[in-house]
């Protein structure tokens, strides 16, 4: 018999935040990391939910993120670039600090960029895209990762799984949002195949000699492949250039050198772009928000889905019915609260 | 025996421009369209070379582009958006007018956007990306097309082949540049398979009922598919939103409604973004240009290729040896010059 406990979203937030405070995070770090983890759990996106708490604590314990960092923002007069120095902390607190400044600049200039430097990235980009759309702006967010993906035609890990995310604000419903890895599959999926003793689908990975493989062990020793062949490889490379080199932060191979492992949150920077529909569409025919609804209706009307709809449905259920956690999950939360960083081996 | 004629790049430019002037284009339109067509021929990118002259003239003859348009630029104080109204002419003249203004704004604000409205798009995006990198800036360029691609999970043409292009400036060599359709294949490739009586590879297209097909006729009556499954579909949708709706210009289904055919140059807008590496990397360790070279060396060092290298090699050959045209190609240029728009049936 599976016993489940139902928690409201605020109740789960309280529990998770207590764990991070117990582990030594300051209020700004604990609050921000908690919000994204609970958002994942709330949206039934289990791979980015409470399962991630241990990874965050492991990164703290390894000394690869500063649990007491207080991010600082800098905006120069006349610049459309907002800079937030995460000061070695998690990206989330830095992004929370930067979003209102990004929105103000995007409204003033039409478009603006938020550069986050020296952060431990955690963990999906959709919460950040949704923070931009919540301001009534369209947004693009990207960051490197660790070198685990071979460029098309290559044989060695070089690019990260480099996520690319985009959002468009909608007035009467959840935003249009996508967020995907530029690798064919997430590294975690290869790990899941390995644990289950299953072969990988073809086209996911190459072995250490650069030959195609469906063996998860060989894939983990080799490299993953970009999605969409040379096109995905090009987008992954663009992300290294824009969200690594352009912003003066680490590229995926540099991240892996620095961490020496892919089991900790990657340390690097992040690039967020925001666009004001009012500013861009000014003086042109049609209302951009209404026109976007027409596009979405046409997509849905032919049986295709808009991305993130499963998450939004789960979000509505969590708001009305609460979040159900298994007895094992509750026990794990209790253990993490009790032991703090000692729970991490 | 195949007779070929060798022309220098300027000599070919002179011939092509004379054709456009003869067909009624004004100097600014003829010059700009000629430059991109000759750039395609020079780079051995035959699908975007002199072969395209007829398509441009067909669009003029159909009254779907204004041959005597003079684009105008508008820049508001304190805005990072540069707007060029193409006034119904080809995009190329509008982009040439806007690029220096875009560069000035990107240097001032760190990043900037060039919006081109009411243009007939012609024809690849890499010349535009290269115009940005020639200013020492990184750039992203995108535009819609005609509705010929079904969103993943859908069954009807809705998205365009929506090209996405990116460039990074390099100090001692040609830039890092990619430019690709967000469909699996270009529409022209399906047409080539049809003419050759060959089946399409699987995964390129669906028929009019939404079922997978390898029959080119059925594909042309149905829809093409996005590259990379739902990820490419999402990027194609993003391009409709940013380079259509955000900038107050037509989406791919609206373009097809307006033209009623896919045989004319698509009429819509275009979005160009420019990023200043100096502004973004300011105060951070490392020189972004040198760091990018390290990344490129690592890619090439493992046997992968950088995109556009074949074009750049052809460009060097054209500069030293000239451009070789067949007797049939020369005859066609002569015919177009002699007959003007009457050559188009």
Q: Is B338 a catalytic residue?
A: no
Minimal CA separation from A62 to chain B, in Å: 24
pLDDT of residue B12: 98
Mutate to test the interface with B, among A75, A77, A80 (most CBs of B within 10 A): A80
Section A177-204 average pLDDT: 93
| Residue A260: CB atoms within 10 Å | 11
Q: pLDDT digits over A273-321, tens only? A: 999 999 999 999 999 999 999 999 999 999 999 999 999 999 999 999 9
ipTM at complex level: 0.98
Helices in chain B by DSSP H: which ranges? 9-22, 27-42, 53-61, 91-109, 126-133, 187-196, 216-221, 230-240, 252-259, 277-281, 288-301, 309-321, 327-339
Burial class (CB in 10 A: 0-12, 13-18, 19+), B168: buried
Q: Is B48 a catalytic residue?
A: yes
pLDDT of residue B125: 97
From A288, which residue of chain B is nearest by alpha-carbon distance? B245
pLDDT over 90, % of chain A? 96
Percent helix / strand / coil, chain A, rounded to 5: 45, 20, 35
Contact B102, B70 (CB under 8 A): no
| Residue B210: CB atoms within 10 Å | 16
Contact B80 A112 (CB under 8 A): yes
Residue A343 pLDDT greater than 80, yes or no: yes
pLDDT of residue B1: 53
**A233: chain B residues, CB-CB within 8 Å:** 304
Residue A1 pLDDT greater than 60, yes or no: no
Nearest to B266 by CA among B86, B98, B59: B59
Domains of chain B: 1-61+309-345 (1.10.1530.10), 69-183+226-307 (3.30.1370.60)
Taking the CA atoms of B213, B219, B221 and B222 in sequence, report the sign of the dihedral they define. positive
Instruction: Look over chain A and give the mean of its residue pLDDT values, rounded to a whole number.
Output: 96
Contact B177, B307 (CB under 8 A): yes
Contact B151 A79 (CB under 8 A): no
pLDDT of residue B126: 98
Catalytically active residues of A, by annotation: 47-48, 189
CB neighbour burial string for A60-85, b if at least 16 within 10 angstroms, e if fewer = bbeebbbbebbbebebeeebbbbbbb
From B139, which residue of chain A is nearest by alpha-carbon distance? A242
The two tokens of residue A124 are 């999906």
Contact B113 A113 (CB under 8 A): no
Q: pLDDT digits over A154-186, tens only? A: 999 999 999 999 999 999 999 999 999 999 998
From B210, which residue of chain A is nearest by alpha-carbon distance? A302
Q: Which residues of chain B have pLDDT under 50?
A: none
22-51 in B: which are within 8 Å (CB) of A? none
pLDDT of residue A310: 96
Contact B81, B112 (CB under 8 A): yes
B229 touches chain A (CB under 8 A): yes
A136 touches chain B (CB under 8 A): no
Section A204-223 average pLDDT: 96
Minimal CA separation from A227 to chain B, in Å: 6
Nearest to B154 by CA among B195, B95, B206, B227: B206
Contact A295 B241 (CB under 8 A): yes
Contact B295 A168 (CB under 8 A): no
| CA atoms within 13 A of residue A296's CA, in its CB half-sphere | 19
Q: pLDDT digits over A22-81, tens only? A: 999 999 999 999 999 999 999 999 989 999 999 999 999 999 999 999 999 999 999 999
Q: What is the dihedral of CA A331, A336, A339, A342, to 10 degrees?
A: 120
Q: Rounded to whole angstroms, what are the CA distances from B289 to A234, B319, B323?
A: 18, 26, 32
pLDDT of residue B297: 98
176-195 in B: which are within 8 Å (CB) of A? 176, 178, 180, 182
Contact B248, B153 (CB under 8 A): no
Q: Of B13, B41, B48, B254, which one is the catalytic site residue?
A: B48
* CA gap A175, B275 in Å, rounded: 27
Contact A302 B273 (CB under 8 A): no
- Closest partner residue to B248 (CB to CB) among A112, A210, A285 is A285
More confident residue, B282 or A122: B282
The two tokens of residue B167 are 């460039």
A112 touches chain B (CB under 8 A): yes
Contact A245 B79 (CB under 8 A): no
Minimal CA separation from B330 to chain A, in Å: 35
Tell me, what DSSP letter sits at residue A151?
P
pLDDT of residue B246: 98
What residues contact A237, with CB distance under 8 A and at least 6 apart?
Answer: A151, A159, B176, B295, B299
A115 touches chain B (CB under 8 A): yes
């Amino acid at each position: 018999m599976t016993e489940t406990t139902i928690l409201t979203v605020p109740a789960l937030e309280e529990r998770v935040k207590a764990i991070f405070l117990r582990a030594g995070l300051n209020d700004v770090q604990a609050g921000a990391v908690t919000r994204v983890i609970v958002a994942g759990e709330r949206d039934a996106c289990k791979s980015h939910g409470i399962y991630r708490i241990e990874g965050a604590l492991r990164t703290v314990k390894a000394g690869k993120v500063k649990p007491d960092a207080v991010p600082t923002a800098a905006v120069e007069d006349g610049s459309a670039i907002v800079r937030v120095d995460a000061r070695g902390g998690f990206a989330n607190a830095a992004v929370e600090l930067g979003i209102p400044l990004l929105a103000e600049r995007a409204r003033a200039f039409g478009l603006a960029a938020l550069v986050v430097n020296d952060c431990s990235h955690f963990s999906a980009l959709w919460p950040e895209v949704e923070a931009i759309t919540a301001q009534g702006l369209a947004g693009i967010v990207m960051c490197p990762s660790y070198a685990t993906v071979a460029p098309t035609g290559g044989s060695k890990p070089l690019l990260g799984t480099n996520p690319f995310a985009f959002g468009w604000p909608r007035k009467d419903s959840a935003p249009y949002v996508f967020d995907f890895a530029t690798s064919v599959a997430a590294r975690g999926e290869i790990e899941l195949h390995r644990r289950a003793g299953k072969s990988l689908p073809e086209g996911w990975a190459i072995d250490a000699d650069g030959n195609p493989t469906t063996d998860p062990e060989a894939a983990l020793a080799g490299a993953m492949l970009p999605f969409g062949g040379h096109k995905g490889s090009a987008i992954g490379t663009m992300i290294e250039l824009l969200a690594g080199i352009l912003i003066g932060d680490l590229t995926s191979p540099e991240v892996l050198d620095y961490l020496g492992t892919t089991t900790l949150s990657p340390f690097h920077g992040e690039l967020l772009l925001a666009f004001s529909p009012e500013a861009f569409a000014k003086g042109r025919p049609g209302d951009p928000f209404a026109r976007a609804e027409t596009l979405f209706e046409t997509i849905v009307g032919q049986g295709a889905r808009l991305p993130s709809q499963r998450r939004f449905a789960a979000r509505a259920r969590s708001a009305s019915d609460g979040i159900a956690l298994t007895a094992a999950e509750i026990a794990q939360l209790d253990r993490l609260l009790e032991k703090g960083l000692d729970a991490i081996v």
